[in-house]
């Protein structure tokens, strides 16, 4: 199989929720995500409050959920890397914004050692997160019938133009409808996607 064909096959397997495909993708691309996060975590106080592995798990979890719901159309490894790096950059920036918004006093956090409770290793690994299909089930249950249909069809690899023709709607409107639905459900579940 050629590289583009094998990449597309891997993405289809990931989209369908296959755990082995998710593990393969993690093996190949997780180091890139960790590097992208570590490069952006230049502030020592930030490194004391969040671990790069935690952010990496968050990035990969978001990626797998949104991929399974058909939000991403990736046709090359370069596009995937670009997306994952962008997600990583955004996760770090969001964490920095939250820290500043909450006006954290690092001296209090450091004094009682509470930051040690959040060191990587106590949470599930990305593959365990992916393997747990419960999160996708929770998402799907909260989607309307039309939103669920869109997510299922996208997960099966159908294109937006094809769905738009079938449903007699605008492809971009359908894409945005699904994106808003995923954002809404993520907020309902208290998840950062």
Q: Which residues contact 102 (CB under 8 A, 6 or more apart)?
A: none
Identify the three-state secondary structure at position 73.
coil
pTM: 0.65
Can you state the percent helix, strand and coil of the chain, rounding each to 5? Answer: 75, 0, 25
Report the top-level CATH class of 133-193: mainly alpha
Domain layout of the chain by residue ranges: 1-126, 133-193
List the structure tokens of 83: 């997306």
pLDDT digits (tens, 9 = 90+) for 80-110: 999 998 988 888 888 778 776 666 555 454 4
Q: Which residues contact 61 (CB under 8 A, 6 or more apart)?
A: 126, 129, 130, 135, 193
Residue labelled with tokens 């393997």: 131
pLDDT digits (tens, 9 = 90+) for 52-72: 788 888 888 888 888 888 888
Pick out the chain residues at pLDDT < 70: 1-4, 45-46, 100-134, 192-193
């Amino acid at each position: 199989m050629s590289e583009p064909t094998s990449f597309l096959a891997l993405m289809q397997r990931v989209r369908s929720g296959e755990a082995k495909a998710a593990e393969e993708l993690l093996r190949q691309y997780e180091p890139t995500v960790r590097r992208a996060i570590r490069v952006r975590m230049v502030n020592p106080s930030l490194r004391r409050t969040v671990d790069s592995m935690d952010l990496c798990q968050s990035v990969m979890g978001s990626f797998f959920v949104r991929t399974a719901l058909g939000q991403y159309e990736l046709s090359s490894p370069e596009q995937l890397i670009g997306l994952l790096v962008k997600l990583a950059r955004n996760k770090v920036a969001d964490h920095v914004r939250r820290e500043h918004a909450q006006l954290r006093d690092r001296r209090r956090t450091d004094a009682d050692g509470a930051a040690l409770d959040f060191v990587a290793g106590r949470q599930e690994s990305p593959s365990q997160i992916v393997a747990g299909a419960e999160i996708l089930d929770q998402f799907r249950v909260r989607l309307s019938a039309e939103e669920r249909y869109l997510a299922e069809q996208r997960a099966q690899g159908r294109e937006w133009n094809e769905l738009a023709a079938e449903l007699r709607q605008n492809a971009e409107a359908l894409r945005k409808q699904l994106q808003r639905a995923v954002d809404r459900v993520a907020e309902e579940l208290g998840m950062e996607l």
